[in-house]
Amino acid sequence: MAREPVVCSAALSRRRVSSAVVAGLATALLLGACGGSPESASEPAGRFTVEVPTTSFPSAQRITQQTHMVITVRNPGPRTVPDPAVTICNISCGAITGKWHQAPIGEGTSVLPFAVENHQPYEANRSKQVWIVDRAPNPTPCVLASRDNKGYNCASGGPGGNVSVASNTWALGHPLKPGGTARFDWAVTAVCPGRYTVAWVVAAGLFGGPKAVLSNGSVPHGTFTVTITAAPQQAYVDNSGRIVASSGPEPAPNGQNPTSPTTLACEGAG
């Protein structure tokens, strides 16, 4: 999620050339530590009204079943929203709790999106995926890969053209004009049974200056509570060669045997 910008400064001494050189090096190091960015300087500050007309994510899912989590952001005007972005959190989002930097492991953005805390000892990765992200939001179709980096990224299984440097955050990548709508669509496949909470929050930019608010002044956010059952979704190949998925464990027609992937054990279910 976008964090409040940090303003850093350093004064150069003009009394001696040597002190100016030292101060110049200190300034460069200080700005590097602060993560100075021309993008953060160009983002306008203020409150930008948005609407979230559509949010969807099936509350009942099965492992191996692909679903879509969709969040749309609309700009009702009159101001252009600098760069709408959506952050995916676990349980709750720091913009609402005020604990972006103090969120316990496994909450907020302390683990990867669509994941829970990995409790296995001696493992470097603190995240255990509940959903595999098959396709993240991408404004550009997966075509013209040789001429379009976003298309190449998407076609090669990358995180999608909307991915940003902020934790667990996808941004539109350009301003949203009044009346415009940005659609964020994640195609995901459930791999861990259990009950989970997926939280989301909308921002107007990536660097903390512009604030997204609803018409009542509140921060646009929400949660999905999802139960994933251990019985996998069944699939079979019909007589025409198509892969057909069904929602239940009933046998496939024509005497064909459905697939039965192994159930994966998960920890950290909410």
DSSP string computed for 240-261: TS-EEEESS-PPPGGGPPPP-P
Question: What pLDDT does 158 receive?
Answer: 55
Question: What is the CATH architecture of 45-229?
Answer: Sandwich (2.60)
Kindly report the backbone phi and psi dihedral angles of residue 52, in degrees, each rounded to the nearest multiple of 5, phi listed first: -120, 80
Among 5-19, 80-94, 101-115, the least confident range = 5-19
**Amino acid identity of 19?**
S
Taking CB atoms within 8 Å and a gap of at least 24, the contacts of 230-238 are 230/63, 230/193, 230/263, 231/62, 231/63, 232/62, 232/63, 232/64, 232/65, 232/259, 232/260, 232/261, 232/263, 233/62, 233/63, 233/64, 233/65, 234/258, 234/259, 234/260, 235/259
pLDDT class of 189 with cuts at 50, 70, 90:
very high
Place 154 in a pLDDT band, splitting at 50, 70 and 90. low
| Band of residue 67 on the pLDDT scale cut at 50, 70, 90 | very high
Q: pTM here?
A: 0.70
Domain with CATH 2.60.40.10 in the chain: 45-229
The residue among 121 and 66 whose pLDDT is bigger is 66
- Over residues 179-193, the mean pLDDT reads 93
The residue among 99 and 165 whose pLDDT is bigger is 99
Distance in angstroms (rounded) separating the CA atoms of residues 261 and 231: 9
pLDDT of residue 227: 95
**Helix then strand then coil, % of the chain, to nearest 5:** 15, 30, 55
Output the pLDDT for position 41.
54
pLDDT(234) > 90: no
